């Protein structure tokens, strides 16, 4: 009987909560919108591409999910302010913020333009800073959750991903500070680190000159699906976990980097150097 009660509480724990997901038009963000929505949450998604945003909104509503789409670029502070204001105008509260919007890059540091690294930092790190700043008062009031979709690259630097790894290390540090500062105020902070997941992030990764690479160097069919990743993140949010590291590959990378960094350097280099058209060999 106890198991049934606990299961019911778990299933309904996000019912009627207002959940903002930045970058919610594809990949993990879109999967999270469906995952929280099917558990009864009111979902707000943001995105820069209006066509993709409207299509994702239609799909959510067709599935019976109450959703609001906001055309916003997380790298622009004013767009994040608008996001919080429009959410409050529609739903009157904010319970969960998922800082999901992100971009990757793939180039050796000696080759990459500095503007490419800056663009990655503006989206992956400052986007989370801006969004959290404007949603924080409501989340504190409601004792809600702040979730950062980080990466194994935020624990272990990846060759050829200078800007991406740097942005995720910065995000992890920000979330750790936030979790500690609000330790006694009932705010939950989750650092969620997927391993390689089958999304379009690698197709849109920026090359040394800022162009999108348009194709993935990995076998996407072998990676974790966004839907499975979203289920793990939903459960971790409900359980108010602090850190979530996904996939065996990801857990091993973090473990080896902590205890045998010299070995991790060699293992990571070899793994990344064997990718198609690897920028580091």
H/E element, 256: helix 248-259
Contact 224, 195 (CB under 8 A): yes
* Residue given tokens 């209006």 in the structure block: 50
Active site residue 126: no
DSSP assignment, residue 114? Answer: H
Quick check: helix, strand or coil at residue 275? coil
Q: Exactly one of 130, 134, 164, 234 is catalytic; which is it? A: 164
Contact 158, 218 (CB under 8 A): no
CA–CA separation, 93 and 17 (whole Å): 9
> Using CB atoms within 10 A of its CB, is residue 248 exposed (0-12), middle (13-18) or buried (19+)?
exposed
Contact 135, 84 (CB under 8 A): yes
The residues carrying an active-site annotation are 164
């Amino acid at each position: 009987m106890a198991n049934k009660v606990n299961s019911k509480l778990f299933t309904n724990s996000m019912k009627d909560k207002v959940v903002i997901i930045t970058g919610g038009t594809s990949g993990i963000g879109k999967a999270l919108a469906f995952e929280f929505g099917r558990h009864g949450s009111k979902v707000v998604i943001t995105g820069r591409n209006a066509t993709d945003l409207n299509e994702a909104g239609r799909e959510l509503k067709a599935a019976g999910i109450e959703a609001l789409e906001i055309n916003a670029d997380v790298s622009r502070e004013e767009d994040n302010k608008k996001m919080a204001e429009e959410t409050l105008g529609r739903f009157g509260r904010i319970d969960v913020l998922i800082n999901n919007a992100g971009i990757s890059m793939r180039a050796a540091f000696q080759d990459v333009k500095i503007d490419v690294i800056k663009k990655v930092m503006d989206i992956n790190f400052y986007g989370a800073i801006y969004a959290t700043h404007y949603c924080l008062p409501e989340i504190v009031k409601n004792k809600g959750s702040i979730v950062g979709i980080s990466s194994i690259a935020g624990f272990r630097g990846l060759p050829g991903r200078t800007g991406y790894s740097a942005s995720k290390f910065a995000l992890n540090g920000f979330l750790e500070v936030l979790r500690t500062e609000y330790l006694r105020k009932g705010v939950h902070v989750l650092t969620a680190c997927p391993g390689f997941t089958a999304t379009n992030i690698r197709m849109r990764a920026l090359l040394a000159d800022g162009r999108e690479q348009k194709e993935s160097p990995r076998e996407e069919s072998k990676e974790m699906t966004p839907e499975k990743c979203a289920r793990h993140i939903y459960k971790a949010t409900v359980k108010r976990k602090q850190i979530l590291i996904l996939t065996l590959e990801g857990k091993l990378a973090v473990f080896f980097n902590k205890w045998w960094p010299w070995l991790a350097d060699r293992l990571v280099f070899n793994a990344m150097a064997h990718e198609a058209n690897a920028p580091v060999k």
